[in-house]
Amino acid sequence: MSVIEPMTSTTAQAVSEACNSGSYAKALTLLKTSKVTLFGRTVEGGVEAHVASERGPGTYIVSVPAGTKARASCSCHDYKTRGGLCKHGAAALLACQREIGGAQSLPEVPAREKPKTPKKQLSETAPSGGVTPPWLSAKRKLNGDDESPATKRPRSASPEFVEDPVSLPKPKFPGQKKVKAAAAPPGPDLSGRKTAMRTAMLKNLLQKWAGFGRAEEFKAELRRWGEAPLEDAFGLLRRAASSEDAAGGAAIISELVQRPDGLAATASADAQGRTALHIAAAGRNLDVCRVLLSARACPNVKDSGGRTPLGLACKHRVEASQLWVEDPLVKMMKEAAGGAAVDPNGSTN
């Protein structure tokens, strides 16, 4: 009996019937264009054929088993997805039928085995902490080996075996070029974000201590702020002028007016046109008014209602004593204003 038994017309018709849809006509085209090559005999007694691709330089490997059944396995995508008989397998069967006389003289092809994937093995070394896991200790006792892997000698080595501690240099090949490792892409720049968060935190702390009149805490946060201009110097002056602690508020304003931006903020006003001196005069804060007037804050500036700090001091003379000839706050305001007269509504003439 030959490698492949002689195929009758019934067997050729079986090839046509076993083909996938549209594969038989394409198999005939492959056979006519000499795309099929009988490569050799397989160990199982079949034939291995190579079928060239009609679309490119690729080649598909077809294995035809011995016998008269129309069967063939192929490495193409059609066979892997649909099974059955693809166009390459059908072309190989038809080629075997045409050249059945020379099939037995083909050389033997060794069996093709799929590479086995090695199983993942557990590490034989103890963890870095120095504690040997229980499963590793049990395995060493079972094998009669209680030595650690670091001090264990090879079983097949002779007594004179000494491991060379010097590592061998890496081989160099002619024409080999050094390939530089690609630099890691730069990460997001967080310096600007950190600076913004720090600025916002310091700003909130400055406003908090200014409102409470806590001079020591305010000075500490102001030193942390540094020489950079303050974001809201007028807001700090206004909070300190109406703070709960009058002496602390005066100390905070005294610290602020030593800075250029704080000194310039003494002439700033809010939406109603009120300056820090307006707020201090309305609250009769004598210490704060003294610091602001020493920083050349104007007692005659008018707000949106036409009121001046001097006029507000005269209007709210509730702390004047009978022993005083004149209210000290009003006297201090008039001296700074150059003896300006005040009308009953709190404005300066």
The pLDDT of residue 77 is 85
Question: Average pLDDT for residues 278-300, to the nearest whole number?
Answer: 88
Contacts (Cβ under 8 Å, ≥6 apart) of 211:
239, 240, 243, 244
The pLDDT of residue 316 is 65
Contact between 333 and 322 under an 8 Å Cβ cutoff? The reply is no
Amino acid at 238: R
Residue 211 has pLDDT above 70, yes or no: yes
**Residues 54-102: tens digit of each pLDDT:** 877 888 888 888 776 788 889 888 888 888 888 888 888 888 877 765 4
Question: Average pLDDT for residues 309-317, to the nearest whole number?
Answer: 79
Q: Where are the alpha helices (DSSP H) in the chain?
A: 9-18, 23-32, 77-82, 87-98, 134-142, 191-212, 215-225, 233-241, 246-256, 260-264, 276-282, 286-294, 309-315, 328-337
**Residues 196-207: tens digit of each pLDDT:** 888 889 889 988
pTM equals 0.43
Question: Average pLDDT for residues 241-261, to the nearest whole number?
Answer: 89
The pLDDT of residue 10 is 41
Instruction: Please tell me the number of Cα atoms within 13 Å of 155 on its side-chain side.
Output: 4
Cβ atoms within 10 Å of 233's Cβ, excluding its own: 21
- 142: tokens are 């079972």
Contact between 78 and 86 under an 8 Å Cβ cutoff? The reply is yes
CATH numbers and ranges of domains, the chain: 9-102 (no CATH), 215-337 (1.25.40.20)
**pLDDT interval class at 216 (50, 70, 90):** very high
The pLDDT of residue 4 is 45
Residue-wise over 238-260: b if at least 16 C-beta within 10 A, else e? bbbbbbeebebbbbbbbbbbebe
Residue 104 has pLDDT above 50, yes or no: no
What is the SS3 assignment for 193? helix
Distance CA 17, CA 27 (A): 13
Contact between 266 and 245 under an 8 Å Cβ cutoff? The reply is no
**pLDDT interval class at 162 (50, 70, 90):** very low
Residue 126 has pLDDT above 60, yes or no: no
**pLDDT interval class at 158 (50, 70, 90):** very low
**Most confidently modeled range among 10-24, 77-91, 330-344:** 77-91
> Percent of the chain scored above 70 by pLDDT?
66
Cβ atoms within 10 Å of 6's Cβ, excluding its own: 11
Residue 175 has pLDDT above 70, yes or no: no
Which DSSP category does 100 fall into?
G
> Percent of the chain scored above 90 by pLDDT?
4
For residues 71 and 106, the model is more confident at 71
The pLDDT of residue 275 is 92
What is the average pLDDT score of the chain? 75
Distance CA 272, CA 321 (A): 32
The pLDDT of residue 251 is 92
